[in-house]
Chains A and B, each alone.
Chain A
Amino acid sequence: MLVRRGIAVSPGVAIAKALVLGTETFRIPHQFVRPEAVESEVGRFRSAHAAVCEEIRSNEQLAADHLGKQYGAIFGAHLQLLMDPKLTSEIEQLIRDKFYAPEFAASRVLRKYAKVVQSLGGQYMAERATDLFDLEKRVLRQMLGQRREELANLTCPVIVIARNLTPSETASLDRKHVLGFATEGGGRTSHTAILAGALEIPAVVGLGRFLSDVSTGETLIIDGNVGEVIISPDEATLERYRDQEAKRRTIEERLLTFANVTAETKDGVRVYVMGNIEFPDEVEHCTSRGADGIGLYRTEFLYLQSDREPTEEVHYQAYCRVIDACGGKPVVIRTLDLGADKIPGSFREQFKDQPNSALGLRSIRLSLQNLPLFRTQLRAILRAATRGDVRIMFPLVSTLLEFRQAKMILSDVMEDLQDEGIEFKRDVPVGMMVEVPAAAMLAEEFSREVDFFSIGTNDLIQYTLAVDRADTSVATLYSSGDPSILRLIKLVVEAGRKRGLPVTVCGQMSSDPKFLAVLVGLGMRQISVTPHALPELKALLHHMTIPQAEEIARRAMSFDLARDVENYLRGELKKLSPEATL
């Protein structure tokens, strides 16, 4: 049993056989052979081995003839590696002594060497490991015939393990059979992460080198709640996870009964619980759980999925799908929230040498400096808005001037559409994300000009506590319960209340059940959360009254330390709902 820790990007637990991609696309059908079949399996391995040697020899000849002797020599070296006298005996021994299937045995042994070589470090050795993976691939292809297991042709449940997945690979994933992801690369905002969240399958990314620890066919547990991958788990661990899974499923099924229940507190105060989405397909995850709309539609993926700037039509089609799927419920579309380095097209070239910093050219700042890009998106939103209840939200607004500029461009775009005789919606509410402490402090000033506020706690915490979200060494400072965050939220809620403006929280904080009471108690009557959290939060609302929530908020505001706030809220959550997930 081996445990690897990475970054948890999509919650849940999956237990299945590994399908290792990238270094091989073969799936080993059986790990073991029957004892009486051992000799014939050894024979199968030997003839496969001989065939691969022959194949390499002819490659060597071809390369030498066409490219020159030194290229042929590369294959000659591969041949030597494969003919290593002890290599074959080691593989055969695994078949004979442990009844490993020859495919599994060959994979294990070659990977063992690849791992040793990799552990020596350095670019050269990394490439040698690649050579060994290539040999493994050849041997497996020989034994499994040409039956390459494409991701699209899965027949049984697997957990996909890869260095990284491209958007097209992830897009073609079969949700019925792919139970989880784990990748070596990637961070919280990588494509894999975004997709895993959208597909609602457990995923862990940023594990670092671990492909050589796993062979296709080995059993894996992916714990997307804590960010762990357990390779070849022991029986006790498996048992524990299976139990946990069964319990979670029961609770989930019971919570789903809340899908059709109106989200309100025990004393009948309506709290709108909406969903955060990234892709049009996710609307269904929200509506099936009884969401009161889409409180945050992130549009970044439109920019990430191809190497070209998305056209107005690409935007428009995506927005129409979301709006139509929502059936008249509100959809809050957030304009581009990315750094300059992520934007396809010529603009990226222009800024490629700029530091890519959380304090740099990104989000609304970027949109305001790249007006053609911004206008394209706004045009599409305004056109699509005729189909439903659409609201526009600008991210990362720091000053009133920025908000005014953005609104001015919006009016300008409306004028263009009108001149061109294109149908669009004029009275679209325009709001802003409150993620910069400066904006929270000036909430009252902003409240005179915006139609709504949505508090993005993820960035608000990062900027308020000056803690880089991606830096694990300072992760302990990052807390939604920090008294400074509660105070900033209170400022915004109060500014909104004075003018009767809707205020929402759409960061991760609002998806965390322990913060629900404090948010409601502070006066929040809307939250927007990750889709899978919807049923639990709706159920929890029914367990609290407004006076209770207000008392919890008052107490929570009285602590000096984030730790004390969180401990207190955890305790209160237990009292409100003993079965809530902590």
Chain B
Amino acid sequence: MSDVPVRRAIVTIRLPEGLHLRPLTQLARAAQSYSATVTLQKGGQTVDAKRPLDLMTLAAGCGEQLQLEAAGDDADAAVEAIVRLFESDFADGSP
């Protein structure tokens, strides 16, 4: 188990309306394209980033920080892509 690559990062929500429906589905879609497990943590709550329904229950608002964690062979790429999504404020638009 110890040889599974794990990557972590802190992401900040800068969207004025928080992590609302459109960005969270973008996020889930991005996470789903990697084989690594991807989770987001807020406070004590950890959710599966591939599940939009789970992400919704985070109710993450503007300015909040989340801990991103990916575990698996493509963990690096997954974290990189998701961090980029957050940094671009989910700009690519394709939901």
A120 interfacial contact with B, CB 8 Å: yes
Give the docked Cα–Cα distance between A85 and B18 (Å).
24
Give the docked Cα–Cα distance between A73 and B22 (Å).
7
Given contact pairs A124-B17, A124-B18, A128-B21, A86 touches B51 in the complex (Cβ within 8 A) = yes
- In A54-79, the 8 Å CB interface with B consists of 69, 72-74, 76-77
Give the docked Cα–Cα distance between A18 and B80 (Å).
49
CB distance from B37 to the nearest CB of A (A): 12
Q: Is the CB of A128 within 8 A of B93?
A: no
A116 interfacial contact with B, CB 8 Å: yes
Q: Is the CB of A77 within 8 A of B57?
A: no
A568 interfacial contact with B, CB 8 Å: no
A304 interfacial contact with B, CB 8 Å: no
Nearest B residue to A131 via CB reads B21
Q: Is the CB of B93 within 8 A of A113?
A: no
CB distance from A494 to the nearest CB of B (A): 64
A-B pair number, CB within 8 angstroms: 54
Residues of B within 8 A of A84 (CB): 28, 51-54
Residues of A within 8 A of B54 (CB): 84, 86
Give the docked Cα–Cα distance between A131 and B53 (Å).
11
- In A118-158, the 8 Å CB interface with B consists of 120, 122, 124-125, 128, 131
CB distance from A75 to the nearest CB of B (A): 9
Give the docked Cα–Cα distance between A112 and B32 (Å).
23
CB distance from B33 to the nearest CB of A (A): 13
Q: Is the CB of B56 within 8 A of A117?
A: yes
Nearest B residue to A73 via CB reads B95
- In B23-53, the 8 Å CB interface with A consists of 24-25, 28-29, 32, 48, 50-53
Select one of A69, A72, A77 contacting B25, CB under 8 A: A77
Residues of A within 8 A of B95 (CB): 72-73, 76-77, 80
Nearest B residue to A79 via CB reads B25
Nearest A residue to B48 via CB reads A86
Residues of B within 8 A of A85 (CB): 32, 50-51
CB distance from A93 to the nearest CB of B (A): 15
B77 interfacial contact with A, CB 8 Å: no
Give the docked Cα–Cα distance between A117 and B58 (Å).
9
B59 interfacial contact with A, CB 8 Å: yes
Residues of A within 8 A of B59 (CB): 120, 122, 125
CB distance from B60 to the nearest CB of A (A): 10
Q: Is the CB of A113 within 8 A of B25?
A: no
Q: Is the CB of B57 within 8 A of A120?
A: yes
Q: Is the CB of B22 within 8 A of A81?
A: no
B7 interfacial contact with A, CB 8 Å: no
Select one of A80, A120, A122 contacting B52, CB under 8 A: A80
CB distance from B85 to the nearest CB of A (A): 14
Q: Is the CB of A80 within 8 A of B57?
A: no
CB distance from B19 to the nearest CB of A (A): 10
Give the docked Cα–Cα distance between A87 and B52 (Å).
10
Residues of B within 8 A of A117 (CB): 56-57
B20 interfacial contact with A, CB 8 Å: yes
Give the docked Cα–Cα distance between A122 and B61 (Å).
11
Q: Mark A30-73, 1 if CB is under 8 A from B, else 0.
A: 00000000000000000000000000000000000000010011
Residues of B within 8 A of A74 (CB): 21-22
Residues of B within 8 A of A81 (CB): 25, 52-53, 56
Give the docked Cα–Cα distance between A550 and B2 (Å).
90
Q: Mark A430-442, 1 if CB is under 8 A from B, else 0.
A: 0000000000000
Residues of B within 8 A of A116 (CB): 57
Q: Is the CB of B48 within 8 A of A80?
A: no
Give the docked Cα–Cα distance between A80 and B93 (Å).
15
Give the docked Cα–Cα distance between A116 and B17 (Å).
20
Give the docked Cα–Cα distance between A74 and B25 (Å).
10
Give the docked Cα–Cα distance between A299 and B90 (Å).
58
Residues of B within 8 A of A131 (CB): 21
Give the docked Cα–Cα distance between A124 and B25 (Å).
16
CB distance from A130 to the nearest CB of B (A): 11
Give the docked Cα–Cα distance between A146 and B76 (Å).
48
Q: Is the CB of A128 within 8 A of B25?
A: no
CB distance from B89 to the nearest CB of A (A): 15
Residues of A within 8 A of B93 (CB): 69
Q: Is the CB of B48 within 8 A of A77?
A: no
CB distance from A83 to the nearest CB of B (A): 8
Give the docked Cα–Cα distance between A125 and B17 (Å).
12
Q: Mark A102-122, 1 if CB is under 8 A from B, else 0.
A: 000000000001001100101
Residues of A within 8 A of B20 (CB): 124
**For A74, A81, A120, which residue has the most chain B Cβ atoms within 10 angstroms?**
A81
Nearest B residue to A119 via CB reads B57
Give the docked Cα–Cα distance between A77 and B23 (Å).
9
Q: Is the CB of A80 within 8 A of B28?
A: yes
Give the docked Cα–Cα distance between A122 and B53 (Å).
17
Residues of B within 8 A of A122 (CB): 59
Residues of A within 8 A of B29 (CB): 80
Give the docked Cα–Cα distance between A4 and B52 (Å).
31
CB distance from B32 to the nearest CB of A (A): 8
CB distance from A105 to the nearest CB of B (A): 15
CB distance from B67 to the nearest CB of A (A): 19
Residues of A within 8 A of B50 (CB): 85
8 new A-B contacts, CB < 8 A, other than A76-B22, A80-B95, A86-B51, are A73-B22, A77-B24, A80-B28, A81-B56, A85-B32, A85-B50, A116-B57, A131-B21
Q: Which 8 A-B pairs have the closest CB atoms?
A: A80-B25, A76-B95, A73-B95, A77-B21, A120-B59, A77-B25, A84-B53, A80-B52
In the assembled complex, 19 residue pairs joining A and B whose CB atoms fall closer than 8 Å, in A order, are A72-B95, A73-B22, A74-B21, A76-B25, A77-B21, A77-B22, A81-B25, A81-B53, A84-B52, A86-B51, A87-B51, A113-B57, A116-B57, A117-B57, A120-B57, A120-B59, A122-B59, A125-B59, A131-B21
Q: Contact residues of A with B, CB < 8 Å?
A: 69, 72-74, 76-77, 80-81, 84-87, 113, 116-117, 120, 122, 124-125, 128, 131
